[in-house]
Structure 1
């Protein structure tokens, strides 16, 4: 094999970086960083941790001048470790590919980072290591110095089933929008009884799916509503100025910082989301909203 990428295919990412570099670059690396992580798409991988090994190489631009032994003028090794920790803290993931993408994306936000190699391997799935490796480069948006704005703080409104069915719903949503803050809507369990599983874990999933379904019922009542589930989707929708409805199963099941409340306590889930997003105001429309005001729906 004469192709340098092929000849280094099973080498360390440091060898891959060297073999595929169009021009010499400085590099910093993280080798053999092993963490216990809950990850995986299979049911047997849920509720338990497995060892992941992280190897990262980040190619950096030169400063054109000596660093004068000044840590503030370099890309610190801690940045690599912090990127791994931040990607793991966002939410539970099914795929190593997604985790690798998030780590690379975080590192490429650093002004000096030009190209990143990320290799992640599962060490406990057999008498071998199973893994992925990706290579990503800084894009033109980063090179122009464009940065994502700070996420606006939303209003979080928790709606009862009566409020969802009420013909005045569009007017209430209009009122929520008038304040100028993004609007995040949450729902309670539907009135139709959920199937009874007879075991706690399946019942929890059934109830969460019922909440997700009710989110879609609300979204069908007003074209402004966008159903979202993950923290990434929520933040993106808020930055886009969309009115969103939270389908909670993804975060409740997969986030490392899971709420204490379960699906049978939807008002507490709503309060958890409001706390997580730093809501400026919280309101219950025909429902209780911890720490918020309540708008009654009985009057016609």
Structure 2
């Protein structure tokens, strides 16, 4: 039995266990995440950085991640570290209390978190650690709609002609230098699938293979098959190549067609694309999204 005093100085996991109800919740945690930050109300803390240590425990609602082994079904650790960095990047703050509150509220805007424990400690302001710790739950939330700061990407559909062009490497160089959030879709020249489930799977796996072939030719191109990884790539400057089989086969509203152009139009809506560039092939239009046919040499 933990006393109030021992609980006050225990780790966050111990406090979460002690505060659990009859049915303990699943918990996701990030501990001892150290970042150099300019923060503090004292003049001596202005114009310099100091180390902050972040420990966050998030209690989550029931989910199927353990059964599906699917990263899209769980709260990603990246969600926690991104919440920390988003609040640090937003503005300079004086108080750890303010920072902890904003991190907790940002996490609670996501659908799965039910309760959040946040501990922040200054490591350089004395002989020991100086910190704050808060616990927040959904009772203070006005809704579950959160801030999604994933940028709207440009989808670039690379036709078989573009893939064979000697200028493709230069084009990828340019994409890397421009830093515009981009997802590549690679034309796989897929056969028209019959109504059979095996034929549909084979066609989509061929599309995945086309993405991996591009990665083999240019290591900057990273095949990605889940929405979680795609969002991370868009936020972190990764040049992702869509490997479509998982998203298409898991979706209830995906086209039955295995024509990759049809799938690209559907995918553009899933990722809230702002534009589709059809490189080396005719454009396919979709309401609400700019669509343009271009030749590779026109982009260089």
1:8-27 map, 5 Å:
26=19
Deviation of 1:244 after TM superposition, in Å, equals 0.7
1:221-260 map, 5 Å:
221-256=217-252, 258-260=253-255
Aligned match of 1:157: 156
Q: How far apart, CA to CA, are the structure 1 residues paired with 2:70 and 2:174?
A: 42
Deviation of 1:286 after TM superposition, in Å, equals 1.3
Residues matched between the structures, number: 205
Could you report, residue by residue, the CA deviation over 1:132-182 in whole angstroms, capped at 9, with x for unpaired residues?
A: xxxx985768x899x997111211101111211211112333444565421
Matched, 1:202 2:198: yes
3-state DSSP of counterpart to 1:245: strand
Could you report, residue by residue, the CA deviation over 1:168-214 in whole angstroms, capped at 9, with x for unpaired residues?
A: 112333444565421100022247x69x8x76100000000110011
Could you report, residue by residue, the CA deviation over 1:78-105 in whole angstroms, capped at 9, with x for unpaired residues?
A: xx99x55xx67xxx98537968853999
Aligned match of 2:268: 274
Q: How far apart, CA to CA, are the structure 1 residues paired with 2:79 and 2:149?
A: 15
Matched, 1:216 2:201: no
Q: How far apart, CA to CA, are the structure 2 residues paired with 1:279 and 1:269?
A: 13
1:144–1:267 Cα change, 3 Å:
farther
Of the candidates 257, 262, 284, which is equivalent to residue 262 of structure 1?
257
Q: How far apart, CA to CA, are the structure 2 residues paired with 1:228 and 1:57?
A: 27
Aligned match of 1:188: 187
Tell me if structure 1 keeps the 8 A contact 2:154–2:181: yes
CA RMSD of aligned residues (A): 4.8
Q: How far apart, CA to CA, are the structure 2 residues paired with 1:155 and 1:260?
A: 21
Q: How far apart, CA to CA, are the structure 2 residues paired with 1:261 and 1:28?
A: 46
Q: How far apart, CA to CA, are the structure 2 residues paired with 1:279 and 1:233?
A: 16
Q: How far apart, CA to CA, are the structure 1 residues paired with 2:293 and 2:276?
A: 9
TM superposition score normalised by structure 2: 0.52
Could you report, residue by residue, the CA deviation over 1:110-144 in whole angstroms, capped at 9, with x for unpaired residues?
A: 838x9xxxxxxxxxxxxxxxxxxxxx985768x89
Q: How far apart, CA to CA, are the structure 2 residues paired with 1:281 and 1:199?
A: 31
Q: How far apart, CA to CA, are the structure 1 residues paired with 2:264 and 2:297?
A: 22
1:289–1:184 Cα change, 3 Å:
farther
What runs of 5+ residues in structure 2 fail to find an aligned partner? 2-12, 28-58, 84-102, 108-114, 121-131, 135-145, 286-290
1:65-214 map, 5 Å:
83=61, 95=68, 101-102=74-75, 111=104, 138=117, 150-177=149-176, 179-190=178-189, 200-214=196-210
What runs of 5+ residues in structure 1 fail to find an aligned partner? 4-19, 32-54, 59-79, 115-135
Q: How far apart, CA to CA, are the structure 1 residues paired with 2:17 and 2:214?
A: 55
Q: How far apart, CA to CA, are the structure 1 residues paired with 2:265 and 2:218?
A: 23
Q: How far apart, CA to CA, are the structure 1 residues paired with 2:18 and 2:66?
A: 32
Tell me if structure 2 keeps the 8 A contact 1:261–1:268: no
Deviation of 1:243 after TM superposition, in Å, equals 0.5
Tell me if structure 1 keeps the 8 A contact 2:72–2:227: no
Tell me if structure 2 keeps the 8 A contact 1:153–1:181: no
Aligned match of 1:15: none
3-state DSSP of counterpart to 1:241: coil
3-state DSSP of counterpart to 1:163: helix
